[in-house]
Amino acid sequence: MKQGTTRHSLAALFVFGLLAAVLVAAPASAQDSADEPSQEIVIPVGDGDGAGTGALVTGGGDNAPNIECVWLLPDNDGDKSLYGPDYWGNGMQYGDDDDPYTDAWDYAGECYETRDNPPKGDQDGYEGEGDAVRPLIQVVPNPHDYAGGEQGQNGEQFIEIWGAVDQAIGDDHIVVADVYHPDGTRKVNLPMTVTPRIPNEAGTSSYICPTPDNMFRAANATGQATVGAIDAMVWECENQTKHFWYGAFGLSKHQPHGIYTVEVRAVNTETSAVTLHVVHFEVLPTVILEKDFDSVYWNIESNDHVVNEYGGDLIWSPGAGGAQTVRNVGNAGMAIDLLFDMMCLDGNPLNCVDDIKRIDRFDAALGKEGHGLQRIGDVNLGQEPIPAGVEATFDESLPNVILCPNEHAKIEFSLYTGLQHPGKYYGVDEYGDPGGIHLYAHPSFLYDGNYLCPTDTGNVDYHDYWYPVGTLTPKANGYHGFEAPSE
């Protein structure tokens, strides 16, 4: 009897401990969700082959709905909209505010450039991508993908699709969007939602077509819709000949950077006539370097090769002191170079003239989980030490020093002493100012001629849903932030 009670107590303690460990570690370890079960919504139009031709195709006869315009918006609510509503500014726009167009605008009706998208060099310097298409917008994923996170607060970056489709009274249309990775594989299929037309109690038009504040301002500011086209589309919606459709999907930092394709299909449900409208957006490559340590310590009791006090580890534990870990929370592969400043007794640059009052030889080691450490400047391996003031590079042809998104690496720093004068040594840079160790991160993504990191290959099999706060119900058409008045 008592043994059973004891077993229950042990089991309870074990469960309690395990649960506590999971709950405490959950925010750190569950930053990026595991694979979710697939729940694709299939609309029986299109074949989802990621054609991405950039061409306007109308099929099925004269009853195919006309798609007047499609535009995309990063739904940013970050620094550029601290004081204003959503859409103010448009987040990051590479190069200039939008992509350059060369042909004349058709003011009479089209909202933006022709569908032909003549070849134009890509903007991101990423060879092979984007050379034949022209993205409407450039976006950057958030560095973390906490499920259920609000936009701008460590949730996925949302991208909105807006479309204006001719729709007279009595027309029954559906509009669907397919989004494709840079390599042409499909990312998500989502049904778009029509904005309501609301009877206008006052005013000159019969109806009003509410849309989020500043949405059209952002579409215009990014060169996707002229003022005239917007005015015309709004008028047509209010006079019941056009509808606005919207949809949204998430962009994880684990998904590839490059040029994505969006295919919007408007279907006449009575005749099955289809109109296809293709646009593109670009996900920019980003490098975000993080470290979980503030300082590096040495305590030298003998003249020798001295590894820093705590060494490196793979446990991400921010705070002063402790073992050193670095990681990449960008969306592109990253490598790290480093530079040691000279260390002078008492931090006095004049002391560095004297050999015994100067430490100027170092080595370093870097390696990510499962790949071991790569050492540079290690005399025990027959290498020359790293001199102070000279940027040192790891061999990026080896995978252990290329950090893919969210990968951690341990990093260690050592110095060589001879007959140094006892005392405290401070880092001093080339200008005589306080110095230390500089870590230089830069994009690096090739190993043995092949892309090492999934986000650099153009296709990543990753969930494409978002979870409304407080629920675990995935939604593919996760429009966020706009609650239109009911009809």
Alpha carbon separation from 302 to 305, 353, 382 (Å, rounded): 9, 22, 21
CB-wise, 278 or 342, nearer to another protein? 342
Q: Contact between 451 and another protein (CB under 8 A)? A: no
Alpha carbon separation from 75 to 56, 218, 258 (Å, rounded): 26, 10, 19
Both tokens of residue 285?
Answer: 């490559």
Q: Contact between 299 and another protein (CB under 8 A)? A: yes
The residue from 50, 367, 377, 443 that contacts another protein (CB under 8 A) is 443
Instruction: Kindly indicate which of the ranges 94-102, 167-175, 375-383, 446-454 contains the residues binding another protein, using the contact rule CB under 8 A.
Output: 94-102
Evaluate whether 267 touches 278 at the Cβ level (below 8 Å).
no
Residue 301's contacts (CB-CB under 8 Å, 6 or more residues apart) are none
The residue from 59, 84, 119, 432 that contacts another protein (CB under 8 A) is 84
CB-wise, 190 or 411, nearer to another protein? 411
The residues in 49-68 that bind another protein, with binding defined as CB under 8 A, are none
Backbone angles phi, psi at 58, to 5 degrees: -115, 125
| Residue pointed to by tokens 């969930």 | 463
CB-wise, 248 or 332, nearer to another protein? 332
The residue from 50, 285, 377, 458 that contacts another protein (CB under 8 A) is 285
Cα–chain-centroid distance for residue 426?
Answer: 38
Cβ-based burial of 249 (10 A; exposed 0-12, middle 13-18, buried ≥19): buried
- Residue 320: Cβ within 10 Å count: 7
Binding mask 335-364 for another protein (x = CB under 8 A): --x-----x---x-----------x-----
Which of 481, 485, 484, 416 is closest to 159 using CA atoms?
481
Q: Contact between 76 and another protein (CB under 8 A)? A: no
Long-range contacts of residues 479-484, Cβ cutoff 8 Å, at least 24 apart = 479/160, 479/193, 479/246, 479/247, 479/248, 480/75, 480/151, 480/158, 480/248, 481/75, 481/77, 481/86, 481/151, 481/212, 482/211, 482/212, 482/246, 484/195, 484/196, 484/210
Instruction: Kindly indicate which of the ranges 41-49, 265-273, 285-293, 364-372 contains the residues binding another protein, using the contact rule CB under 8 A.
Output: 285-293
Instruction: Kindly indicate which of the ranges 51-59, 124-132, 243-251, 470-478 contains the residues binding another protein, using the contact rule CB under 8 A.
Output: 124-132
Evaluate whether 279 touches 223 at the Cβ level (below 8 Å).
no
The residue from 43, 48, 53, 94 that contacts another protein (CB under 8 A) is 94
The residue from 47, 62, 201, 301 that contacts another protein (CB under 8 A) is 301
- Cα separation of the two ends of the chain: 66
Q: Contact between 396 and another protein (CB under 8 A)? A: no
Backbone angles phi, psi at 396, to 5 degrees: -80, 0
Binding mask 130-169 for another protein (x = CB under 8 A): --------x-x--x--------------------------
User: CA-CA distance, 445 to 189, in Å (whole number)?
Assistant: 29
CB-wise, 98 or 363, nearer to another protein? 98
Least Å from the CB of residue 133 to another protein? 15
Q: Contact between 293 and another protein (CB under 8 A)? A: yes
Instruction: Kindly indicate which of the ranges 189-197, 198-206, 265-273, 291-299 contains the residues binding another protein, using the contact rule CB under 8 A.
Output: 291-299
CB-wise, 109 or 321, nearer to another protein? 321
Q: Contact between 17 and another protein (CB under 8 A)? A: yes
Cβ-based burial of 333 (10 A; exposed 0-12, middle 13-18, buried ≥19): buried
The residue from 43, 66, 442, 451 that contacts another protein (CB under 8 A) is 442
Cα–chain-centroid distance for residue 474?
Answer: 20
What torsion do the CA atoms of 112, 233, 170, 206 make, to the nearest 10 degrees?
A: 180
- Residue 38: Cβ within 10 Å count: 10
Binding mask 22-51 for another protein (x = CB under 8 A): x-xx-xxx----------------------
User: CA-CA distance, 371 to 399, in Å (whole number)?
Assistant: 7
How big is the CA angle at 142 (ends 322 and 314), to the nearest 5 degrees? 25
The residue from 47, 382, 424, 487 that contacts another protein (CB under 8 A) is 424
Both tokens of residue 21?
Answer: 């460990």
CB-wise, 105 or 207, nearer to another protein? 105
The residues in 226-245 that bind another protein, with binding defined as CB under 8 A, are 226-228
Least Å from the CB of residue 424 to another protein? 5
Q: Contact between 217 and another protein (CB under 8 A)? A: yes
**Residue 403 gets which letter from DSSP?**
B
The residue from 51, 307, 373, 437 that contacts another protein (CB under 8 A) is 437
The residue from 98, 363, 378, 412 that contacts another protein (CB under 8 A) is 98
The residue from 45, 72, 209, 287 that contacts another protein (CB under 8 A) is 287
Evaluate whether 329 touches 143 at the Cβ level (below 8 Å).
yes
Instruction: Kindly indicate which of the ranges 204-212, 417-425, 446-454, 475-483 contains the residues binding another protein, using the contact rule CB under 8 A.
Output: 417-425
**Residue 292 gets which letter from DSSP?**
S
The residues in 175-214 that bind another protein, with binding defined as CB under 8 A, are 213-214
